[in-house]
Amino acid sequence: MTLKGYKQWNYVQVETDDGLTGIGEAHPGAGIAEIILQFKKTLVGADPRNIEPLYHRMIGAASNRYAMGLSAIGGIETALWDLLGKSLGVPVYQLLGGKYRDRIRLYADVGHGKGNTPEGWAQRAREGVADGYQAIKFDIDNSANELKQDAVNRELSTAELQKMTSLVAAAREAAGDGIDISIDCHSLFSTHSAMKLAERLEPFDLMFLEDPVPNDNVEAMAKVSAATSIPICTGEFLFRRDGFRELIQTQACDMLHVDVSGTGGMLEAKKIADLADLYYIPFAAHNITSPIGMTATAHVCAAVRNFIVMELPYHADQVEWRWDLAISSGPLMQDNAFVVPDQPGLGVEINAEVAREHLMPGSDHFGTS
């Protein structure tokens, strides 16, 4: 099932012969739903309790073992955990080793603010603080394109650097000193420009600077990390432990940003976090899913010792119905923290009525096709 949220939200339902069902959310994006269906013949007739063996069976059967393939597998794997938790009468975090925390700290991703001007960034910062968030993140990439001298060389001009610095300065002044602010670069800059940007942003006491350079070059990331006091965070575009291993072992960054729905599933994300914990590297959770996928991510965050913060797509607040999509025993959001459900499985179900109202063209609700 695929819904039209602020992105294309993709859902999975796994059903057993005795009628018990588990739900999961795959990574957002077009084409994922079709890939999910490709794994049906791999799973039909198998014991759904054998989650890790089934995970590796799907990896072996995947025509694309990264990006879209893992996005689909992550949704199925989540549904299997939900199913197992329901069958045993325990929440998923218990199956992952138990919880360290009941509530998950969030940062509000505000995107480019109210426009790429100091006033626009200041306004968005004030809104986030007024709504009670103690951490916010802005996207600084493409925020000074009108000053760019070359569209493709990854270099930042002095004029771009000056404008970007003014944006962050305005956000910091508006938010105040007690609020954590992070900046996302979306892997667009050269090592040289990333270091110059970090130097200019150091006075603003950032929680992290995300993806200042493409993360497929560990040495470049390490060079930026070594050149600044700002914690460097990366991992959104990395997959499975294979993709994180060198980054962690060489301590080329200061914080991981792992997308549970995209990296291969809940258990794989937990294993990545545990590997990072050996090197005292904090685990932050990237998240662009609906409340269903966000709940799955929260279960992982609850069970991870080195967890620090989870993303809330605050710039998706135009999707007025998104919190109505999840049925739970109590509010998932309380005091601007995410409350981890204690009910069996994920502890949430999809509101069928809301889902049917927002189906993507050509998509059917579970059980209607």
> Distance between CA 125 and CA 235 in Å, rounded?
25
Domain ranges of the chain: 2-90+350-357, 95-344
Which of 106, 184, 107 is CA-nearest to residue 139?
184
The answer to pTM > 0.85 is yes
Q: What is the pLDDT of residue 369?
A: 37
pLDDT in tens, the chain (369 residues): 999 988 899 999 999 999 999 999 999 988 888 899 889 989 999 999 999 999 999 999 887 656 788 999 999 999 999 999 999 999 999 999 999 999 999 999 999 988 999 999 999 999 999 999 999 999 999 999 999 999 899 999 999 999 999 999 999 999 999 999 999 999 999 999 999 999 999 999 999 999 999 988 999 999 999 999 999 999 999 999 999 999 999 999 999 999 999 998 999 999 999 999 999 999 999 999 999 999 999 999 999 999 999 999 876 667 889 999 999 999 999 999 999 999 999 999 999 999 999 999 888 777 543
Q: Could you tell me where the beta strands, DSSP code E, fall in 157-214? A: 180-184, 208-210
Q: What is the pLDDT of residue 368?
A: 43
| Residue 203 DSSP class | G
Non-local CB neighbours of 284 within 8 Å, separated by 6+ positions: 208, 233, 255, 256, 257, 258, 307, 308, 309, 310, 311
Task: Provide the phi-psi class of 133: left if phi over 0, else alpha when psi is between -120 and 50, else beta.
Answer: beta
> Distance between CA 185 and CA 299 in Å, rounded?
28
Q: What is the pLDDT of residue 314?
A: 77
Q: What is the pLDDT of residue 273?
A: 98
DSSP states along 4-44:
ESSSEEEEEEEE-TTS-EEEEEEPSSTTHHHHHHHTHHHHT
Q: What is the pLDDT of residue 68?
A: 85
Q: What is the pLDDT of residue 64?
A: 64
Q: Tell the CATH topology of 2-90+350-357.
A: Enolase-like; domain 1 (3.30.390)
Q: What is the pLDDT of residue 310?
A: 97
Architecture of domain 95-344: Alpha-Beta Barrel (3.20)
Q: What is the pLDDT of residue 114?
A: 87
Q: What is the pLDDT of residue 61?
A: 87
HEC string for 307-367: EEEEEECHHHCCCCCHHHHEECCCCCEECCEEECCCCCECCCEECHHHHHHCECCCCCCCC
Q: What is the pLDDT of residue 315?
A: 65
Under 8 Å between Cβ of 49 and 84: yes
